[in-house]
Structure 1
Amino acid sequence: MQSQPCDLNEVRRAAEILVNAKHAIAFTGAGISTESGIPDFRGPQGLWRQYSPEIATTEYFHSHPKEFWAFYRVRLSSIFIAKPNRAHLALAELEGMGIIKAVITQNVDGLHQAAGSKNVIELHGTMKRARCIVCGREYPMDIVIRKIDSGQLPPLCDDCGGILKPDVVLFGEPVKDFDKAQELAMRSDAVLVIGSSLTVYPAAYIPIFVKEMGGKVIIINMEPTELDYLADVVIRCRAGDAMTALLSMVKELLNRGG
């Protein structure tokens, strides 16, 4: 979808919700990182338009570890050169201001932490490290990359020779820290959803939990989502544009005393 200007009336409504909230959280998906050069999964240029989602299943990893790691080596190329964009930085600033209490993310790129966000729950794990499936030893991903680039495909554990697996949640595996994320959502009175298609469960339950507890839902996404009908505010523009405008509007409202 072609980029379009943000509706500033909707941005103001979102800012008012956040300023008046006592416990607002953010929930982010791949769309917040596309401006950092990391392709999303389900968008017009998404990874699943180029590759079969089967490649990200636990079954595929165990049956075709060499091909699995060849695919992930390509993904790592974009992730490891990526820098936080305006949306990540604005969200981290909102957390620093006390407006956003925590970030729950589906992303595995570590860009929230790189931007300065402190309280981050990574439901789908992280690409910043790998783990041996036999003995459990952890490896920083830069070491794994060196193993692959030196010809070791799939990369193996130095201790036991087991195959290394990126510390991410594959299809067919349970998400990480979901109980913690659910508890956080159920005591929040607002959720700012950025760049998620809201089609992957159980992660997409997060805004539903907030809504069911009487909270407000703000959705920032370039395209319609599965849960737009739940939203109190929908902002249909690029995440960087929306978050830059939203941060500015929040500051303006605070300076006026809310």
Structure 2
Amino acid sequence: MSTPSAQAPAAPHDGDVLPAADVSRAADVLRGRRIAVLTGAGISTDSGIPAYRGVGAPATRTPMTVQTFLASDEARRRYWAGGHLGWRTFTAAQPNEGHRALFEMERTGVSGGVITQNVDGLHLRAGSSRVVELHGTMRTVLCLRCGQVFSRGAVAAQIDEHNPWLTRPENIVLNPDGDVSPETTAGFVLPVCTVCDGMLKPDVVFFGEFVPAGRFRLAESLLASCDALLVAGSSLVVNSGIRIIERARRRGLPLVVVNLEPTRADAWATATVAGRTGDVLPALQEFLS
């Protein structure tokens, strides 16, 4: 992977004011410490990937649960058809200033790595190497019968072959899962495992599913190697994020929260910054470099 060049802090978006005093205070909390970073959907919204909650989130979006996915052929057809239509747009999203700032923090030794709730792979594409993808990744697909692992590209090719009638909308509007809403799923042929014909599922943690224990231990190990926690772009509504916060609290680690809106951890935070991660993280990186 090529190494991105260092970037100057991004200018605030039109209508936004970078809260300089809050950023300075957060930097004072973090300075001289090795930082673990926990990120959520808010860091990827500037890359065109919407979030379930917060500014600009869909008002009535109902996420797919693992129970529904496993129990219903129609639900799986809807999931795979919509996911296929949005997949290329989702994977074409590029890392933004927030992702690049975190890469710079890792490169210079300020950060010990990133624990992310996102499945878009943008931290890795920005150059970060110590990344725990807590909720999995859209890059791979699993067979639930035999355990075979496939690339998403291979599954996409199978969907194209068996569903040549399925055409992408002219103007793609992504949902938070990286899918779009298909006009119809009538006649859609589900992809299957080419080894055993078993059911396929993206290698992501659905709503109603637990983070695999081994993966959570990796996140705990990353946190244990650091002595401060920075939360960026997460409302912390999902329990996996709160579990990381609880581990940090048990050790008495300083906690800094950067998010546009209030979070479940604000009352425990040593410092909070209300702002876009694409604005605040580059400013923090400059303070700490």
Whether TM-score is above 0.5 comes out as yes
In the alignment, is the contact (CA less than 8 A) between 1:38 and 1:78 conserved in 2? Answer: no
Residue 87 of structure 1 corresponds to which residue in structure 2?
98
CA distance in 1, matches of 2:266, 2:154: 42
**TM-score normalized with structure 2 length:** 0.80
Counterpart of 2:127 (choices 116, 119, 136) is 116
Q: Which amino acid aligns with 1:149?
A: D
Describe the shift of the 1:39–1:75 C-alpha distance in structure 2 as closer, same or farther (beyond 3 A): farther
Deviations 1:169-208 (A, max 9, x none): 1122220311232343355321110000111013322123
1:163 aligns with 2:173: no
Counterpart of 1:6 (choices 18, 23, 32) is 18
The 5 Å alignment of 1:1-258 reads 4-21=16-33, 23-47=34-58, 49-53=59-63, 55=64, 57-62=65-70, 63=72, 64-150=75-161, 151=163, 153-176=189-212, 177-186=215-224, 188-251=226-289
Describe the shift of the 1:84–1:91 C-alpha distance in structure 2 as closer, same or farther (beyond 3 A): same
Deviations 1:64-103 (A, max 9, x none): 3111212323452442111110000000110011110011
Q: Which amino acid aligns with 2:141?
A: A
> 1:228: Cα distance to partner?
0.7
**Percent of matched pairs sharing the same residue:** 40
Q: Which amino acid aligns with 2:200?
A: L
Describe the shift of the 1:232–1:3 C-alpha distance in structure 2 as closer, same or farther (beyond 3 A): farther
CA RMSD after TM alignment: 1.8
In the alignment, is the contact (CA less than 8 A) between 2:100 and 2:127 conserved in 1? Answer: yes
SS at match of 1:203: helix
SS at match of 1:134: coil
Report 1 or 2 for greater relative contact order, CA contacts < 8 Å, sequence distance ≥ 6. 2
How many residue pairs match? The answer is 246
Structure with greater helix share of residues: 1
Q: Which amino acid aligns with 2:204?
A: V
In the alignment, is the contact (CA less than 8 A) between 1:3 and 1:238 conserved in 2? Answer: no
Q: Which amino acid aligns with 1:20?
A: G
Deviations 1:41-65 (A, max 9, x none): 1124325x34312x2x111111131
SS at match of 1:20: coil
In structure 1, the gaps of 5 or more residues are: 252-258
Runs of 4+ that moved beyond 3 A: none
Q: Which amino acid aligns with 1:226?
A: R
CA distance in 1, matches of 2:264, 2:218: 24
Deviations 1:150-177 (A, max 9, x none): 3163211112112221000112222031
In the alignment, is the contact (CA less than 8 A) between 2:26 and 2:271 conserved in 1? Answer: yes
CA distance in 2, matches of 1:149, 1:46: 30
- Bigger drift between 80-89 and 6-15 goes to 6-15
In structure 2, the gaps of 5 or more residues are: 1-13, 164-187
Deviations 1:5-58 (A, max 9, x none): 12112212222233221x3100000000000111111124325x34312x2x11
